[in-house]
Chains A and B, each alone.
Chain A
Amino acid sequence: MKQHNLERPLIMHIDLNSCFATVEQQARPMLRGKPVAIVNRRTEHTAIVTASYEAKAKGVKVGMKLREARALCPGIIALESDPSKYRYVYHKLLDIMRDYSAHVTMKSIDEGVIDFHHTSADVRGRDLVEIAHEIKRRLREEIGVWMRCNIGIAPNRFLAKTAAGLNKPDGLNVLTSHNIRTVLGELRLIDLTGIAERNQRRLNAVGIYTPLQFLDADVVTLQRMVFKSVVGRWWYDRLRGWEVDDVSSDVKRVGRQYVLERFDLSYEEILGRLHHLCESVGWRLRSQYKSARGVYVYGKTRERQYWHSSTLSSLPFSSDKTIYILARQLFEQAPDQLKEIGIHVYAIEPIIDQQLSLFSDQIVRERQVTGAIDTLNRRFGERTVHSAHTLASGLYVSQKIPFGSTRYL
């Protein structure tokens, strides 16, 4: 039986509390202490992206419709998201974290991990709890007095994140083999990052109903009966403080989605929005110096039906025009009554100039035009040059907060 990892905890997870709402309350002092919801669009049907702690105290949850939130909390103030503000705070947080270690990984726009294993002797010689307090103080001094964060310190990334989820807001917790049973004893399975309903059902099926039972389960049960793969071994190690999550992932797909601003848009108007999404996806793809070979489009109807279609090309592409041509062909089969559309490109590979074929002239010309447009947009601002077809959609389909990946921040 493998023992707990007994080394000094050197992983620190930092999570900005209710990030976007807190940043708005920082920026606008009159909002402090009031229930605030951040939405991507101020309509009745819009979903809440972030709620302030004052709103959460009234039962408002992320993902809830604004209308439902208003029923629970009549005084709630809805603000449209302001990505440039959050991007700035993200970079300030990143700068602070990098002062302590070169090994910093941002997990999303509002949370990141500092690995102190390979940092300087001066930093390693310090008490990490003291550094955590210092980071909290620096957030308040360098960004603003309203900024708060939760910090977790543990021997591995999973336990550090778990610790950062305790005592919100403004918590600071250290999770080691000494207190893991106490902490896990107070949590539910679905409180653990990576355990959602499906994994919970798998665990329940073998009689595991609590995190403590999960911790006590043997590796054979987890590997052969619960997860039926090496994932079971990873969970066994993860819960004991051994690192299994220090992995970087390559870009596998680049995409965007959009909930239609009205449900009575004509097919041509919806195509305009799809085209706009294709331009965003192309811009993101090329910003990573990547091309793709596949396009996947989907639509969700008002009757909750999910439609999708995809195509794989033999040649790589990265221009907005090609992405849109392929997406539009697929979209001809889309159902009526759409309320949401989305596109992503896949089979991602690096852009290689030598990779030319019989169609090289056409590809080179298209690449040069796309490159010229990108140069203009970088110099004069995003969407200075774009298709005339997306003129009407620019007001609605503007860039919103990129959750998950921090590649485009």
Chain B
Amino acid sequence: MNDETFLQERVEVIARFSQGHQPCYPVRFRRASGREIEVSELGLRHPLPTGNKTIHIFDVTDGGADYRLEFDSERLIWHLTMEADHYEAA
């Protein structure tokens, strides 16, 4: 169908907080393997309310693959939850 890999990987993220329509923009993240990924575009940021808690979901790309980062606004931690490095015929 396509090459999505679903994960629950803790990652370290450098994010820029600023004014404007994208107040939080992940710039770079480091995976558990030590590999660093430079974000070239933030596709969409959307909140996922989970009861009283909100998880912020960032769909980003480095130009070669799409990634989904999730920021737990209560625990202040980031997870990489999806990687799709290319898409094949369904």
Give chain B residues whose Cβ lies under 8 Å from the Cβ of A384. Answer: 51
Q: Which of A28, A84, A381 contacts B51 (CB 8 A)?
A: A381
Q: Does B57 lie within 8 Å of A84, measured CB to CB?
A: yes
Q: List residues of chain B with CB within 8 A of the CB of A382.
A: 51
Q: Report whether A144 and B87 are in contact in the complex, using a CB–CB cutoff of 8 Å.
A: no
Contact of B52 with A by CB under 8 A: yes
Q: Given A23-B44, A28-B43, A144-B44, are A76 and B90 neighbors across the interface (CB < 8 Å)?
A: yes
Residue of A nearest to B3 (CB): A77
A34-B87, A42-B1, A78-B2 given; A379·B52 CB < 8 A: yes
CA distance A74 to B1 in the complex (A): 11
Inter-chain contacts of B52 with A (CB < 8 A): 378-380
What's the least CB distance linking A375 to chain B, in Å? 10
Q: Mark B48-62, 1 if CB is under 8 A from A, else 0.
A: 111111000101010
B12 CB contacts on chain A under 8 angstroms = none
- The CB with the most chain B CB atoms within 10 A, among A23, A28, A70, A378, is that of A28
Across-interface contacts of B84 in A (CB, < 8 A): 28, 30
Q: In the complex, which residue of chain B has the Cβ closest to the Cβ of A36?
A: B87
CB-contacts of A38-72 with B (<8 A):
42, 66, 69-70
Q: How far does the Cβ of B44 sit from chain A's closest Cβ, in whole Å?
A: 4
A75 within 8 A of B: yes
Let me know if B72 is at the binding interface, CB within 8 A. Answer: no
A84 with B90: CB separation less than 8 A: no
Residue of A nearest to B42 (CB): A144
Is A326 in the interface zone, CB < 8 Å from B? no
A379 adjacent to B44 (CB under 8 Å):
no
Spell out A's residues near B (CB within 8 Å): 23, 26-31, 34, 37, 42, 66, 69-70, 74-79, 84-85, 88-89, 141-144, 377-382, 384
